[in-house]
């Protein structure tokens, strides 16, 4: 039986969920960075006051399946990235094992559908940044065997696969020779290529070389917020023409140019937090001082006012006008972002975007596509 409109018993807590019928559709969050919290010892089976994600809050938000991104910083180097990736996968699997069967690791679209029908949460592994491959396709194949079903080719730095959107100067002007091999091997394996974070030149190389649909698991529309991390209309259309999907990111700086301008003074603290999350700060005293500085900076930033969840819906609408409603979804970037939209403070509020689309007149079928149907279609086509 579906969880929606019924009761669900999780870890001894009875949760009553009453929701509109359109939420009977499967809801997927295509990108969260929760493995970084899991490897730090957070028990995802317990509702937490910290971070954005845990299994009880997934239920509250009506999310059936989440792609847990195995994120490694480009600053770690390939060997350390490989070690950290294995540690995060182990931590996620340990949390799933402790769920008592309420959560399962999923490997394909049919797994997600079956779990949803049984009232079981699905966790699917993704990987953010290809550095853990150590420039070796054997590691790509091994991560696939472990259940990694998409690879975000890089993060905020160039790597051995391709150029990132972040640095000013390119390295490869798109995919590297090894990157082309990665794309072709991912096609062969049935692994989804994620173009979020990569440069425009890299994106068009992926479109050129991939024989399968590709996705942007957590990106916004450049027409509404002119950030290099976002996708322009031509890219969104090219993605859709190949059968792919853009999953809208919840990060306020990618949603609103006005808010991005206000955030300029905060970026150094964002870098500090990223370094801590990536495991780059080993001195405990220094880490504590940095955490205190970051906390004060967040309080100052909260006072300037955040864009609301309705701006996420604006990006969904824009992408739908450009590419069609069949090519848009949601990828929160929760636990990877420092600030959330007003009304989308954690995954328990995920349904707010879908509710807003309903308020704007979208049909239950259209909302179902955005909620997860579009991403499931791509997953079925690519992964089997």
pTM of the entire predicted model: 0.89
pLDDT in tens, 206-258: 999 999 999 999 999 999 999 999 999 999 999 999 999 999 999 999 999 99
Query: Is 50 exceeded by the pLDDT of residue 2?
Result: no
Residue 131 counted as domain residue: yes
Question: Average pLDDT of the chain?
Answer: 92
Residue 273 counted as domain residue: no
Do the strands 7-10 and 13-16 form a parallel or antiparallel pair, or are they unpaired?
A: antiparallel
Q: 3-class secondary structure for 139-181?
A: HHHHHHHCCEEEEECCCCCCCCCECECCCCCCCCCCECHHHHH
Neighbours of 248 (CB within 10 A): 30
Cβ atoms of 5 and 24 closer than 8 Å: yes
Residue 160 counted as domain residue: yes
Residue 290 counted as domain residue: no
Residue 180 counted as domain residue: yes
Read off the pLDDT band of 23 (50, 70, 90). Answer: low
Cβ atoms of 55 and 101 closer than 8 Å: no
Contacts of 136 (CB under 8 A, 6+ apart): none
Domain CATH code at residue 231: 3.20.20.140
Do the strands 121-128 and 103-105 form a parallel or antiparallel pair, or are they unpaired?
A: parallel
The CA distance from 331 to 119, in Å, is: 22
Do the strands 103-105 and 148-152 form a parallel or antiparallel pair, or are they unpaired?
A: unpaired
3-state secondary structure of 312: helix
Token pair, residue 326, equals: 């069949």
Residue 239 counted as domain residue: yes
For residue 242, the enclosing domain spans 7-256+307-383
Residue that has been written with the tokens 């990060």 in this structure:
251
Residue 205 counted as domain residue: yes
Query: Is 90 exceeded by the pLDDT of residue 272?
Result: no
Per the structure, how many domains does the chain have? 1
Token pair, residue 280, equals: 């780059």
- pLDDT recorded at residue 51: 95
Query: Is 80 exceeded by the pLDDT of residue 374?
Result: yes
Cβ atoms of 222 and 231 closer than 8 Å: yes
């Amino acid at each position: 039986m579906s969880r929606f409109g019924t009761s669900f018993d999780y870890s001894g807590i009875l949760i009553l969920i009453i929701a509109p019928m359109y939420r009977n559709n499967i809801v997927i969050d295509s990108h969260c960075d929760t493995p970084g919290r899991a490897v730090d010892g957070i028990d995802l089976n317990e509702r937490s006051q910290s971070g954005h994600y845990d299994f009880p809050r997934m239920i509250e938000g009506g999310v059936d399946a989440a792609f847990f991104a195995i994120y490694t910083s480009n600053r770690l180097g390939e060997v350390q990235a490989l070690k950290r990736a294995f540690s995060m996968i182990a931590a996620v699997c340990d949390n799933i094992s402790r769920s008592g069967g309420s959560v399962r690791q999923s490997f394909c679209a049919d797994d997600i559908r079956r779990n949803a029908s049984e009232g079981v949460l699905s966790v699917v592994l993704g990987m953010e940044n290809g550095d853990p491959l150590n420039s070796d396709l054997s590691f790509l194949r091994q991560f696939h065997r472990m259940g990694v079903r998409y690879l975000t080719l890089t993060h905020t730095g160039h790597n051995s696969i391709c150029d990132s959107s972040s640095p000013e100067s390119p390295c490869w002007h798109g995919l590297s020779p090894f990157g082309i091999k990665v794309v072709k091997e991912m096609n062969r394996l049935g692994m989804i290529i994620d173009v979020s974070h990569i440069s425009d030149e890299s994106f068009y190389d992926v479109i050129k070389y991939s024989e399968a649909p590709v996705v942007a698991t957590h990106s916004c529309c450049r027409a509404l917020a002119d950030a290099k991390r976002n996708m322009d209309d031509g890219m969104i259309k090219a993605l859709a023409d190949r059968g792919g999907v853009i999953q809208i990111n919840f990060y306020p700086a990618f949603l609103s140019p006005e808010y991005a301008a206000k955030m300029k003074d905060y970026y150094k603290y964002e870098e500090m937090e990223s370094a801590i999350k990536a495991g780059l700060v080993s001195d405990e005293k220094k880490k504590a001082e940095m955490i205190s500085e970051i906390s004060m900076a967040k309080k100052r930033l909260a006072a300037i006012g955040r864009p609301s969840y309705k701006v996420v819906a604006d990006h969904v609408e824009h992408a739908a006008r450009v590419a069609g409603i069949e090519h848009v979804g949601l990828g929160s970037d929760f636990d990877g972002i420092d600030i959330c939209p007003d009304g989308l403070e954690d995954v328990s509020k995920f349904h707010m975007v879908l509710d807003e689309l309903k308020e704007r007149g979208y049909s239950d079928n259209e909302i179902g596509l955005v909620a997860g149907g579009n991403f499931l279609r791509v997953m079925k086509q690519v992964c089997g």
